[in-house]
Structure 1
Amino acid sequence: MHDKIFGRLLAACFALTCFQAGATQPVPIDVLAHTPAIQSVSMSSDGRNLVALVTVPGKSDDTALASWDLRHLDAGSRITPSGDRMKFIAANALKADRILVIARQEWTGQLGGCGEGKRTGATKTFVTKTYITDTAHKNFDEAFAAKTSKLDMNEDLRRCLELTSTASLVNPLPLDPDNVIISQFDATSFNSNYLLYNLRTGESKLLFKGGGRSSPGLFDPRNGELLTRTQLEPLGGGEYEQQVLIRDPATGEFVVHPELTRKLSERYTVDIVGRDEKSGKFYVLTDLFSDKVQAWMYDPSTHKFEDEPLLAHPKYSIARLIFGWQPSNFGRILGFVVDGPTQEVTYVDPQMQALHILLKKNFPGQEVTITGYDDNLSRVLFATSSHRNPPAYHVLVDRKQIVTLGSQRPDFKPEWVGEQRWVEYTARDGLTIPAILDLPAGWTPAQGPLPAIVLPHGGPWARDYMGWDPVGWIPFLTSRGYAVLRPQYRGSTGLGRKLWLAGDAEWGQKMQDDLDDGAAWLVKQGIADPKREAIFGYSYGGFAAAAAVVRPNGPFQCAIAGAPVTDLAKLGWSWSENRLQRILQGRTVKGMDPMQNTDKASIPVLLYVGDRDVRTPAFHAEGFYDAVKNKVPAKFALIPDMPHSLPWYPRHQRQTLALIETFLRQDCKPGGL
């Protein structure tokens, strides 16, 4: 199955498959639960190799590493299954015929003061390791392993290193045939060092030593030289200044640039993403001059921004600049990405623009994302997807033939999915709240209002995008007849500083008002039946669902809280492993505490969490369940071996989706939702 590839001649346009309205068949749980048939697809920067994770032939729930020689694509792939315990979860094609593979396995025992979950007494987690192999898959060696002796380490330190000592790729240095930049855990300082690493010899050179309040910024993608860094300086009263320093090419010294420096609590985006080699000016993504992030040019020699932004959008932020990485276009801006309802790609380079337009014509109604190419565009890797079409991966060969590698979920039928809209509504205090609305296939207003689910995202410093839902909750719910609204409530990121900052210290308060107001908007639009609305969320969304249980006079008939935070007092001392996140976000985690208001519980609730979740440990869900179970109908499920974040085992999806379906159908209210 995995060695079979499908090719067709490139055409100006294919006919769009007609979408048949009125489909009523629910998406089978197993279609959404099984391991993606192909994922983590990448092309090496030298254009020689293609790498992906696939499912093991005959074992659709397990992963395997697959690699192709792009010069002989029709020869098929080499496939190596995961080990019995250590399972592949990601892969990346490197140059020099090397492959980077990330794998993990379950680990049970005392955390020894190490890693996420150490402050909550967790004893179940996962160990994640990074490996390097070659295109023959002969040996899997721990990637970028430090050559430090462990003989003198005590048992606690040894255990800590097993849990935390991994390394990661920082910059592929595409023009260098041998070297990459990596980060490597330092057992002596418990910080990460940054090194120039030779993929062929394993030798390394220190570029930046971790520790203290300094962290690296932009490395020169041509030679690996560190060009910028940031420095945290205390100002007193718990306040810090985040200084941006730029290397002076004349002296080699790093110089503070006040124009880029701000108080940490102000939370401005100042992201130096590249340098123009001719002028020496830097490309900066920043919201210093606008509610939304714009692209600006900054001259380090004059300490000045240019008079006008290089790139700005009237409604949305600029998410990314697309730089060329092949010899013929290295360092040039080829395009940009707008952080709108989707991450919309626009190419300004004529050649890439023409290619992108042609590929989109071949996949009408889908997003086309170019993810890899060689220097003469004889091999181009790209992905396609939409809210009806799971991601699929293809290679354009010699600019005339498309070879399809496969779809993540080949059994998924587009006709199971209905309409998706980007909408806006007004919260009770006048703030505009963006949202994504998904409707069942074939539904029209003439058929009358629907049962509806408000589904807040996690984070809360995150956001949702239109398009394919990688978790599968949206098609699962809409194919069962529910309308689903995903509010981008205040506190969401990526949609402007005003919306983001408005969520500070409003957990369970104004952030929750936005969800209730979204439920009211659904009713006003004639989409939802006011007596058939529920709330379902995971992580922060699980907090919001728990908060809805104890909020008086809410609009919801029931709540489903996945991996919730329910006790803000306990969250305060287990907040984050990341120091900056603790400083920045920790002080905003204030508001209505569900555990202090369980006496007000008024609607049925389902709570579930994994027993290997160290981010929102089970005591949050279980403690809330114990406090409300004698006041409202309540259910609690502890999911064996489930971590907080994807990837989950197929059995986790099967169990949790079945729990959600049964609860909504039978327990949400008398007669079900």
Structure 2
Amino acid sequence: MKLLKSMAFAFAAISITWGANAQIPVEDLGRYPAMSSLDMSPDGKFLVGLMTPPGNDGTDRGVAVWDLTKPGSAPTFTPSNDKMKFIGASAFKAGKILVRANQAWTGAMYGCIEGKSTGATKTFIQKTYMTDIKMKKFDEPFEPVKTGNGILETCAKVSDVGGIVADLPLDDTRVVVSRVSKEWEFTEYLVYDLKKDSYKLIFRENATDSLGLIDTRTGELLTKQRLDNLADGEYYFTTLIVNDAGEFEEHSQLTWTSSKRNTIDVVGKDETSGKYYVVTDQFSDKSALYMYDAKAKKFDDQPLFAHPDFSVTGISLGRKPNNFNKLLAVFYDAADEEVYYVDEDLYAIHEGLKSAFPGKTITIREYTEDFSKVLFITGSTVDTATYYLLRDRKVPELIGASRPWILPQDIGPTELVYYNARDGMKIPAFLAKPPGWKNGDGPVPTVIMPHGGPWARDYAQSSGGGDTWVHFFTSRGYAVLKPQYRGSRGWGHSLWLAGDNEWGQKMQDDKDDGAAWLVQEGIADPNKLVMMGYSYGGFAAFAATVRENSPYQCAIAGAGVANLERVGALWSNDRIQRAIQGHTVTGMDPIENTDKANIPILIFHGDRDVRVPLFHSTDFYNKVKDKVDAELVVVKDMPHSNPWWPENFNTSFNAIDDFLDNRCFSN
């Protein structure tokens, strides 16, 4: 604890106006957090997390372990090596620690996962290891079964589907793990004994059946999901539940189709009533929590929990001996994930911490059975995530902050807003203004920044200290709007389905309408509008470049999809995801409309991106470079998704800085 406290920086409060805020240096945004991924063992004996070593400039990090039986002692630190870098850590039972690491890898993938069919693919190998607090020995209990087939073993090595599926909290030695099957094609699930180092197969997926809910008391399979492709071309997804005879029965009440895509998520079983907890939007636009009687094959008449404006996403069931299987909390997605606590102790602790840290989001990360130790996180959209340990429900002990060098006064706060699209559809969005900006200060340069996916959504990220991209732009005097355009998931069933086959069309209109709304509100300068996005957001930037009458002065596309025809058939490495989403990926294809390019564009793309291959960016760049001011930056050793290395961030941020300062508004 003492070591981490000494690492925190102290800053005096500075009074600034929106026009004079300090630009956060690129290196401060791109560097590794001082600490992240902190977790506490179930027995409260140790903490584990990622940390940059003392005196390091944020270019390296390793795994730190705190012995909580010795209050005030410094953590032990294990650095990454030159090749394999730690990217995650979590505490486990029986004194075990799970760590994840990755390293750059180039080789033949023979078309497996998202690699090339011929030649070499530049990608990453990710591995999950099990170790203990001494971190001297790293085991790989999730390694695929050896087959003797080099091609299959290479595919299995790169796919990395292995990991803990269920930790069976009442069992001291057994857990449920996943790994690639011997045939590689499917995933298998096994009960693994930590002490005996032995496995027992409980389920192997096949072409139609996939894993459902596991009984965390016994490790047995309670439900599974079946995929059927019928003659009408529709895909049907049916939940099967084990009956008293040990046989799996189909439940038509828990069936959904690829066209309607209702959410039906079996998230737990109440041992007292025998009913199942199901999150579903079959009965309302927003998902709600219902109880389902498997014997009667019937839902309860009324939801157990529903929110009028936001969708339920899941529940928390007790994992300690004194509250096992008891409903503790319900989660729903508002601006951030919100928690409705049912358990009186957790509710009281949460409310007490909210009073102690006014204006901050409180996230309870882990706690011991008697609540003598509670690990929690505070934060807001302008305050870095900060970790604390509450002992005996008394004074919280500071462990440390993730990014103490980022100052709240240099960041624009983020809020949830709504505006109407041109056809009347209500669009949620997240708006961040430059720090200190207030109504009447005049319009400012503005970035419209749609999220990736597109079947995803943004969050204000209060507990995590906000969005690094928002920090980058707002500290440079920009406003940022993150539209939750039609096709976004998590804002209701109707908004989600409204995006089908509307790529570059109505989905794009929603973003343009957000820009027009900001101009009308006096926030955005109509002569300084930027479209910037990554992945699907990169597609939106490509689309903005070729759409006529663009409201934007320039576009910035990160790892964007440019060719809809090529991506639709290859959508995702997940067969179920391909079945339900691939057919929705149609609309205005940017690569077919490059002759209409009319605004400058910066394109950046990682050379180790296998999710959206580099050809999307190179092909688009080559077709528009003679028509508009265009630049392509290929970022060395950058994958599609996080974790990015600091040098990946720095290259991307510096390219954007230069483009905005010198080329975007040159006309």
TM-score, normalised to structure 1, is 0.95
RMSD between superposed Cα atoms in Å: 1.9
Q: Which of these residues, 8, 13, 28, is aligned with residue 25 of structure 2?
A: 28
Q: Tell me, yes or no, if the aligned pair for 1:546 and 1:564 is still in contact at 8 Å.
A: yes
Task: Determine the C-alpha separation between the residues in 1 that align with 2:17 and 2:393.
Answer: 36
**Structure 1 position 278 matched with structure 2 position 272:** yes
Q: Which residue identity lines up with residue 230 of structure 1 in the other structure?
A: Q
Equivalences for residues 88-487 of structure 1 within 5 A: 88-118=86-116, 123-146=121-144, 148-150=145-147, 153-248=148-243, 250-466=244-460, 467=462, 468=464, 472-487=468-483
Q: Are the counterparts in 1 of residues 98 and 130 from structure 2 also a CA contact under 8 Å?
A: yes
- Residue type of the alignment partner of 1:218: L
- Contact in 1 for aligned 2:5/2:400 (Cα 8 Å): yes
Q: Deviations along 1:610-648, whole A, 9 cap, x unmatched? A: 000111111111111110011111111000000111111
CA contact (8 A) 2:108 2:118 kept: no
- Displacement of 1:135 after TM fit? 1.1
Instruction: Give the distance between the partners of 2:118 and 2:374, measured in 1 at CA.
Output: 47
Question: What SS class does the counterpart of residue 46 from structure 1 fall into?
Answer: coil
Between the aligned partners of 2:515 and 2:195, the Cα distance in structure 1 is 58
Identify which of 527, 538, 541 aligns with 1:542: 538
Match of 2:10 in 1: none
Q: Would you say how many aligned residue pairs link Structure 1 and Structure 2?
A: 659
Are the counterparts in 2 of residues 122 and 614 from structure 1 also a CA contact under 8 Å?
A: no
In structure 1, which of residues 54, 60, 63 is the aligned counterpart of residue 61 of structure 2? 63
- Read off the aligned partner of 2:4 and give its amino acid letter: K
Cα displacement (A) at 1:159: 2.6
Task: Tell me by how many angstroms 1:165 deviates.
Answer: 5.0
Q: What is the CA-CA distance between 1:420 and the residue it aligns to?
A: 2.4
Structure 1 pair 120/112, CA: closer, same or farther in 2 (3 Å)?
A: closer
Deviation at 1:113, TM superposition (A): 2.6
Kindly state the Cα deviation for residue 29 of structure 1 after the two structures are TM-superposed: 1.3
For 2:239 and 2:459, locate their aligned partners in 1 and report how far apart those are by CA, in whole Å. 31
Deviations 1:363-418 (A, max 9, x none): 22111100100000001111111100121211111211312221111111111123
Residues in 2 aligned to 1:496 and 1:209: alpha-carbon distance in whole angstroms: 33
Structure 2: distance between partners of 1:404 and 1:215: 43
Equivalent residue number for residue 661 of structure 1: 657
Asked if the contact 1:98/1:199 (under 8 Å) is kept, the reply is no
1:582 aligned partner:
578
Report the CA distance between 1:511 and its aligned residue. 0.3
| 1:638-668 deviations in Å (ceiling 9; x for gaps) | 0000011111110111111111111111101
Structure 1 position 189, deviation (Å): 4.3
Q: Deviations over 1:329-362 (max 9, x none)?
A: 1111122222111111221222111100111122
Give, in whole Å, the separation in 2 of the partners of 1:158 and 1:456: 38
* Partner SS, residue 73 of structure 1: coil
- Structure 2 CA distance for aligned equivalents of residues 65 and 651 of structure 1: 20
Which runs of no fewer than 5 residues in structure 1 stay unpaired?
A: 8-16
Retained in 1: the 8 A contact 2:2–2:72?
Answer: no
Mapped contact 1:114–1:163 kept (Cα < 8 A): no
Shift of the 418–519 alpha-carbon distance from structure 1 to 2, 3 Å rule, reads same
Determine helix, strand or coil for the equivalent of 1:448: coil
Question: Separation in 1 of the partners of 2:131 and 2:387?
Answer: 23
1:68-111 deviation per Cα after TM superposition (whole angstroms, max 9, x unaligned): 22222322222111122011101111101111111110001222
Q: Which residue of 2 aligns with 1:10?
A: none
Q: Secondary structure at the match of 2:561?
A: coil
Identity of paired residues, percent? 48
User: 1:401/1:445 Cα in 2 relative to 1: closer, same or farther (>3 Å)?
Assistant: closer
* Residues 389 and 414, structure 1, Cα contact 8 Å, conserved in 2: yes
Secondary structure of 1:258's partner? strand
CA distance in 2, matches of 1:2, 1:540: 44
For the residue of structure 2 that corresponds to 1:626, the secondary structure is: helix
Q: Tell me the distance in 2 between the aligned counterparts of 1:396 and 1:498.
A: 42
Matched position secondary structure for 1:118: coil
Amino acid at match of 1:587: H
Q: Are the equivalent residues in 1 in contact too, given 2:41–2:47 (CA < 8 A)? A: yes
Note if contact 1:165-1:187 (Cα within 8 Å) is conserved in structure 2: no
Q: Partners of 2:14 and 2:374 in 1: how far apart?
A: 28
Contact kept, 8 Å, 2:126 with 2:160, in 1: the verdict is no
C-alpha deviations, 1:137-190, integer Å up to 9, x for none?
A: 1101223335x445xx24333433332355111111111111111111113242
Aligned to 1:622: 618
Distance 1:499 1:656, change over 3 A: same
1:76 alignment partner in structure 2:
74
* Distance in 1 of aligned mates of 2:528 and 2:102: 41
Displacement, 1:265?
Answer: 2.6
Q: What residue in structure 2 maps to residue 12 of structure 1? A: none
Structure 2 unaligned blocks of 5 or more = 8-12
Equivalent residues of 2:191, 2:202 under 8 A apart? yes
AA partner of residue 485 (structure 1): L
Letter in 2 for 1:38: M
In structure 2, what is the equivalent of residue 517 of structure 1? 513
Q: 1:173 to 1:426 in 2, by over 3 A?
A: same
